Chain A
């Protein structure tokens, strides 16, 4: 299973499933990260964490630990 935290900078992937629960999951959903949405990993902070994403036309930063709760579709 691949999650968003495994994706190298510059790559665009499709979200498959949200693994988190409760407030964390709700927050991620509220920000527009939902099944089927395309997310690009833009950048990694100097210390390696958090990461910067682009989705739905805006930039969002999340920690790797949160990115690990976002399952993505494997490439064919």
Chain B
């Protein structure tokens, strides 16, 4: 039989630090059943015999807050073998309030007075032995941060638990109250467990409804008890709950008077924490300080040149992609052998060489594709493939030299990630093509590649990163590709596509988020542990309260600008469940980094003259949060009195490195596990649908034959009122659920034509909606920005909402908002521009009125 110890204490008492100290990496984080309150369990020094159960940080065992109910339910129902109560020595008076309640449970208990180092520094003197005698349990001094005394107190509680040695609960209350409690104890003996009888008696005295209803005591006995309580109340002229609370504090004050000698001089002096707080929560300075913290967070996690973006790029493109150079080993290419011919990239680094090579690569690729097309046109369908089988020896075969002279292709530089066409100038000197990016240039970067130019480009040797540029570590995708070839899978075969595109692609989608999640949580854990988060709530509460959110909601929304996944997870720092859920629902409306790609592409293709379109999308996101918050707050689910805002502002202290790392690690681990279970299969399925047709043949570039296209066709009725009711728009939106930027990539693949990807997409939307194509494009963009986020974020949302029902609520709300906005963009936009008024225009107007009323209606009274 293992011994189970409950670790209980106030928030900010150093409970988590002590827990980390005692269990190290042997801890398991989950949720308490049915709620999103974190449940942490660990093994003392890894020994499975000794279980430590971390309870939520609480101030009291009253029945009102969720954490308190969870804790007392655990303490009473599951009855641990012992309680380790940690109290903050620098804030002893309020901390002992919980101790007096825990002592009544009749369970072996050890009280660990934490922060003894600070207490000693201040010059306060504790008589721990006397304190223990009066409380009826052992009291020990520790410093969780320094790690002193932790092992000793753990050893003590495990020893006591084994011996089942519980002290007698202190008699806290005045004569008449103790008398009433004794009466209650007598009459409820038959109904409650013997050891916790005092605790039950006091709860009944307090008229705790939850406890009374659980016990099923005879109504007669209850009536009799009630008489005793009323007598007491009359005598002391107060209600029972107040009597108990007040007398507990009186007892503690007396206790402290006897056992603690405060150094009054040190108490009067301004502490380090006070001095920080003078600036941080200063009436005026608070805001710039907060702004700095936000900018730091933003820069760290999501800004274009910040470490978060760099790490994400590195993880996606290099570590999970082609490969990467070991730091500090990258160097310019140098020919080693004397007298050997030097390649053109001699003296260049790989990055320089590969960017110079890029236009040649494009030339080769485009011209070859054009050649195959021309060849097939001349010699019959699939002629090229048949005629060149087994020929060429790895090189591109040109079976019809005469034809080659006539083939030319339009080549252009395209940003592979965004599908954006870069502007620039192309020049050709000495047979080498160079493409320079030029912001000023009017034309797209595009040139015609004819046969001679192709031949020149084909002769330019492609630099090989693995050869001569530094120590190259192959990326995950590259390794998997090599592995497939090693076991004899050919590129282009079904199994190869499944493995590389489906499985490797799926894993990479999941893991690509890890760096940014880890960074955000490192930063948040720091803010939380050092005590700043409470100040953020203090500073921002007034503003966010006005649209139904908590002061702490700001941080998740800011994180959401970069990525919705850590944003949704960051909402956990909000204690109030209603506020937390609302923040989760609303945070992903801020366009994230991937959605910015959609905005960038659409504004480049459709809205060149409207420079403000990107800012307008951000503002729309903010407006949804404000108005959505106001509307949700008026529903039954989120309505009612605002939760009381009574929050401790803990003294600042430097968090421990270990604590922050463990915190971050737990979050990342939870994400990866969840992601692996849900997101990964989703990615595999979606990739499969894009790559194959119904007979499991590869579709290659012809996405119109893929499974995804037919699914898109099936759902096109849904997007019909939005102006892109065809398989292309629908399929692009579905594929965007893997990752939002996929919307543009898919559109680019689908929109076949002669021009650039941008021109093709433009033509496609003209085909969808005729002269109103801009409104269809706007609707498509708005739809993809504001419907539920990518599948990764949706999974995170479901997880953080705590239940499937809540998850679907969030999903439905987001879908409604996104759909309505897109409907407005197309129907109302078209109506204003060309006077077209149809049934859907009417629907849009009706829905708008309903939403407007939902926002402005007076808040219903909740009893």
Contact = CB atoms under 8 A, between A and B. Distances in A.
Interface of A: 18, 23-32, 34-35, 37, 43-50, 52, 56-63, 66
Contacts of B93: 32, 56-57
Given A29-B241, A50-B538, A34 B246 contact: yes
A61 B97 contact: no
A66 B539 CA distance: 17
B649 A30 contact: no
Nearest to A53: B649
B273 to A, nearest CB: 9
Given A31-B59, A49-B542, A58 B91 contact: yes
A66 to B, nearest CB: 6
Contacts of B156: none
Lowest 8 CB-CB distances: which A-B pairs, in order? A47-B542, A30-B60, A23-B64, A59-B649, A29-B245, A56-B93, A58-B91, A63-B645
Interface stretch (B188-196, B219-227, B283-291, B703-711): B283-291
A57 B644 contact: no
Contact of B281 (A23, A37, A43, A66): A43
B832 interface: no
B541 A31 contact: no
Interface in B533-569: 534, 538-539, 541-543
Contacts of A47: 539, 541-543
B249 interface: yes
B645 A44 contact: no
B56 to A, nearest CB: 15
Contacts of A57: 90-94, 267
Interface string B288-310: 00000000000000000000000
26 contacts: A25-B242, A26-B60, A26-B241, A26-B245, A27-B65, A29-B241, A29-B245, A30-B60, A31-B646, A34-B242, A34-B246, A44-B283, A45-B286, A45-B538, A45-B541, A46-B287, A47-B541, A49-B541, A50-B542, A52-B649, A56-B94, A58-B91, A58-B94, A59-B277, A61-B646, A61-B647
A18 B542 contact: no
Nearest to B286: A46
A60 B648 contact: yes
B62 interface: yes
Contact of B649 (A18, A35, A60): A60
Interface in B259-289: 267, 277, 281, 283-284, 286-287
A18 B241 CA distance: 12
A39 to B, nearest CB: 13
Contacts of A61: 534, 538, 645-649
B245 A34 contact: yes
Contacts of A45: 281, 283, 286, 538-539, 541-542
B208 to A, nearest CB: 10
Contact of B645 (A18, A32, A59, A62): A62
Interface in B45-95: 59-60, 62, 64-65, 90-94
Q: Which of A25, A28, A32, A62: most chain B CB closer than 10 A?
A: A32
Contacts of A56: 91, 93-94
Nearest to A69: B644
A48 to B, nearest CB: 7
A11 to B, nearest CB: 16
A69 to B, nearest CB: 10
A10 B241 CA distance: 31
Given A31-B646, A46-B284, 7 more contacts: A25-B242, A31-B94, A46-B283, A46-B286, A49-B541, A58-B94, A58-B648
A27 B62 CA distance: 8
Interface in B628-678: 644-651
B249 A34 contact: yes
A37 B249 CA distance: 10
Q: Which of A31, A47, A52, A60: most chain B CB closer than 10 A?
A: A47
Contacts of B267: 57
Nearest to B644: A24
Contacts of A30: 59-60, 62, 97, 245
Contacts of B651: 58-59
B242 A29 contact: yes
Contacts of A18: 242
Contacts of B648: 31, 58-61
Contacts of B241: 25-26, 29
Q: Which of A25, A49, A63, A66: most chain B CB closer than 10 A?
A: A63
B645 A50 contact: yes
Nearest to A62: B646
A12 to B, nearest CB: 13
Nearest to B284: A46
A66 B538 contact: no
Contact of A28 (B534, B646, B649): B646
Contacts of A26: 60, 62, 64, 241, 245
A55 B93 CA distance: 10
B281 A52 contact: yes
B277 to A, nearest CB: 8
A52 B644 contact: no
A66 B645 contact: yes
Nearest to A30: B60
Q: Which of A23, A25, A27, A58: most chain B CB closer than 10 A?
A: A58
B644 A66 contact: yes
Q: Which of B59, B283, B646: most chain A CB closer than 10 A?
A: B646
Given A18-B242, A30-B62, A32-B93, A43 B283 contact: yes
A48 B649 contact: no
A31 B246 CA distance: 11
Nearest to B10: A58
B538 to A, nearest CB: 5
B304 to A, nearest CB: 30
Interface in B319-340: none
B541 A32 contact: no
Q: Which of A24, A28, A57, A59: most chain B CB closer than 10 A?
A: A59
B647 A60 contact: yes
A71 to B, nearest CB: 14
Interface string B234-251: 000000011001100100
Contacts of B645: 50, 61-63, 66
Contact of A48 (B91, B92, B542): B542
A34 B645 CA distance: 17
A18 B651 CA distance: 27
A8 to B, nearest CB: 13
A23 B542 contact: no
Interface in B121-172: none
